[in-house]
Chain A
Amino acid sequence: MAVTRSKTRTLLDQLVERLQAGEALLPDTPENLEEVVGILQSYGVVLDAYYRNLLDIAERQFLVLFPFFKYFDGHVTLERLLKHWWHDRINYEYAEYTLRTMMWHGGGGLETYLESEQFIALAHLAIAQKIRLNPGMRLLEGLFPDFLLEQVRQAVYYHVLGQFWQVMSPLFLTLAEAYERGEVRSIPEVVDHVKAGLVAAASQPLVYQVTLDGATYDIIPASAGLTFLADAAIPYVEAIFFRGTPFFGVVSYNAQLQEISNDPSRFTYGALYADPVTTGGAGIPPTLLMQDMRHYLPPYLRQRYLSQTRGEADLRVKICISFQKSMFCVTTATILGLLPYPLDTANPEQRQANHLHLRQWVYRLQDSQVLTWQWV
């Protein structure tokens, strides 16, 4: 729906008030609830596969330069190989696009840690052990000393994203179970469920070790002080929900006309801004996620999709819309989880600080699809 600038501001202010009242960015309707819970259930299943594979690649395929079987989690059989070639499989590539986007945008304590002396020293220990008996890699390390180090940095993002989704996957699956038991009946309750999960895991330490020739090597030791919320969840939300990358097909742009900002902090190509009706062809990264989720839709949601618009033909668009709505719920949980003071504080100064916090986040979303889904 096209709205004027002043009307947009009014609507955004209403959203701030709604958040301050403990509600969500997404309107609380039975349709939205069914869509959000159903899509998060299928997302939970897909994330489970993604995180297992990410952890496997980071731990077991550490510094394997040609990881031909990286999507097989160590179980290479002819049947799986045939299924892989037939593309009867999960699109693990989506997880890799996501971690590379996180790595590119950086943020949190993780980015600082990856440039620290401590990390470089630990990484070199592991590299030395890995290439000890491999003359080719030793030559590579000698010629390009930063190459393998950068590979380790990438492996760290594999592992950190794996750890993040390891928490989020059961969180979404238990949400669906709670919904089916009748314990979740509104969008604010969905937000509460997610927020509770994030808060519970907030201080969980991020650690990463690899085992080489029977010995364990720390890449991120617990002493680095990296934690789930500050160094994985928030950078993830920033990179994937807000900034993203202008994947071909997600947005129509002309780079030569500088339609893409040179400053990544001004990027608005994240999940919350994405146009569900993409302009390009199949195979683009967000489409990969939608393709994966379509296999695990709960029956009630599939039935609903098939009865709408073009049925099966535009299923991925409908999944994308529901997914975007659900991500607004996750974003609400993050925004509320990061409030400087309790939401129900009676202190006027604290309420003002909360208001400013909410206003800042909501106004950042003014060019996102948040207003689109207020009427749909």
Chain B
Amino acid sequence: MLILSGLVWLPSLGALVVALWPGAHARSLALGIAGLNLLLTILVLEHFDPGLAGMQISEQWAWIDALDLTYHLGIDGLSLPLVILNSCLGCIAIYSSDREIPRPRLYYPLLLSLMGFVAGAFLAQNLLLFFLFYELELIPLYLLIAIWGGERRGYAAMKFLIYTAVSGVLVLAAFLGLAWLSGTGSFTYAVLLKHPLPLAAQLVLLSLLLVGFGIKIPLVPFHTWLPDAHVEASTPVSVLLAGVLLKLGTYGLMRFGWGLFGDAWRVVAPGLALWAVVGVLYGSLTAIAQTDMKKMVAYSSIGHMGYILLALAAATPVSLIGTVFQMVSHGLISAQLFLLVGVVYQKTGTRDLGVLRGLLNPERGLPIVGSLMVLGVMASAGIPGMAGFVSEFLVFRGSIAQFPWQTILCILGTGLTSVYFLLLINRAFFGRLPQNWGVLPESTWSERIPALILGLIIVILGVQPGLLVHWSEATLVLPPAALSTLSSFSPWL
């Protein structure tokens, strides 16, 4: 059964159906296809054996032999949580899209194809195939920002395109170099794992990947495209951008950077940990200075990506689990926050924290939206009982032995998260509703439900982290002996 291909091609081909379907049912059709995709993801879970460390449910066909480009999909404990995240957030993004959105027969197909291409990147076991999907997803995302974005959408979309195109070039260069220097000419992941390169070559190629994926994540100083993209993108696009698309960068770094260049990784790890600290502190301090709610959440994302880099740099069993947990929890939390910021913007017409006041008012404010926002920021700040706490705890617990000072500075960053999110809550939600607003329109249940579902998952994972860790543990937790010979051993063999 081609269930992995289904995850890639059901939304992609479904996009064609939605585009060509006559009448005005684009939203319902897209939602139905995304729902089917979610069911297919559950089917993958059924077939996935969490006790196995390696790739499972492989699907492979030869494509272009001369280039060693094979259509090879597989899934393991690293890609599974991200595939689930992609399917869930895809549904939520479609559901939370404006019912009156212009050109729905273009909009929904772009969202669906974005989901399909991202799933393809997470599942690809051939480096060229990964690169193809990695580049393909740029097209729908560029169009989604450029067509349905805010006032400066043209600028933001172009900036995003240029940055991520450069990212693609660097990643491709690293892949080509790897195939060439390994002497195999192969782009098959499993083959490349068995042919480690000399340290110098690893360092050069890893540098390319670090910058390439660093742009995508984004790591400071390659981050400037992200706040612009978020501010101009519509809410559903921001949900996917923060929730899933940034994870392509962290996933790529983990899968290919750490997985293929183990020796070099250990050499550069202290530098990466320092880079993580810079990212966390820069992202958090910049978030404090923001007055646009969406920009604040965007800079928060930049800060939170630093935790992932720290955990990856440490590369201990616990920190690696923390990496995956942080990717998922950040995906859920940031998606929830962007959804809620979207509702606030839709109701009040502003995201300016200098203007917003009193939204928690039980009678005439947005009390449920405000309560969910409080939950979201608490999760983001790592308050116990929520997914954010578990992920940050795993990251710090797994990294402190390797990089004590860097870890402590990152812990300080979580304190700064509380600072900027308390500023957000205090300014926008407490106090008296501005009198010149008149009566705000009430938020509807259809606007609340997506954030409510995400909030529920955030709490469930916070209380029962095993529900997520269970699927990844076998893949990520290596025996100590294997850790010492990282260059010749990989959990994904």
Contacts and interface: CB of A to CB of B under 8 A. Distances in A.
B362 A252 contact: no
B432 A275 contact: yes
Given A314-B363, A317-B363, A277 B433 contact: yes
Contacts of A281: 362
Contacts of A279: 358, 361, 430-432
Interface residues on A, range: 10 to 19
B428 to A, nearest CB: 14
Interface string B332-365: 0000000000000000000000000010011110
A278 B431 CA distance: 9
Nearest to A249: B362
A278 B430 CA distance: 11
Nearest to B442: A310
A279 B364 CA distance: 10
B442 A278 contact: no
A3 interface: no
A313 interface: yes
Contacts of B439: 309-310, 314
Interface residues of B, number: 11
A83 B52 CA distance: 57
A316 interface: yes
Interface string A255-281: 000000000000000000001011101
A252 B432 contact: yes
Contacts of A278: 361-363
A317 B432 CA distance: 14
Interface string A72-104: 000000000000000000000000000000000
B363 A277 contact: yes
Contacts of A309: 364, 439
A233 B433 CA distance: 34
Contacts of A313: 363, 442
Interface in B434-475: 439, 442
Contacts of A282: 362
Interface in A161-185: none
A275 B439 CA distance: 15
A332 to B, nearest CB: 25
26 contacts: A252-B431, A252-B432, A277-B361, A277-B363, A277-B364, A277-B432, A278-B361, A278-B362, A278-B363, A279-B358, A279-B361, A279-B430, A279-B431, A279-B432, A281-B362, A282-B362, A309-B439, A310-B363, A310-B364, A310-B439, A313-B442, A314-B364, A314-B439, A316-B363, A317-B363, A317-B364
Given A252-B431, A279-B358, A314-B363, 20 more contacts: A275-B432, A277-B364, A277-B433, A278-B361, A278-B362, A278-B363, A279-B431, A281-B362, A282-B362, A309-B439, A310-B363, A310-B439, A310-B442, A313-B363, A313-B442, A314-B364, A314-B439, A316-B363, A317-B363, A317-B364
A-B residue pairs, 8 tightest by C-beta = A314-B363, A309-B439, A317-B363, A279-B432, A314-B364, A310-B442, A277-B364, A281-B362
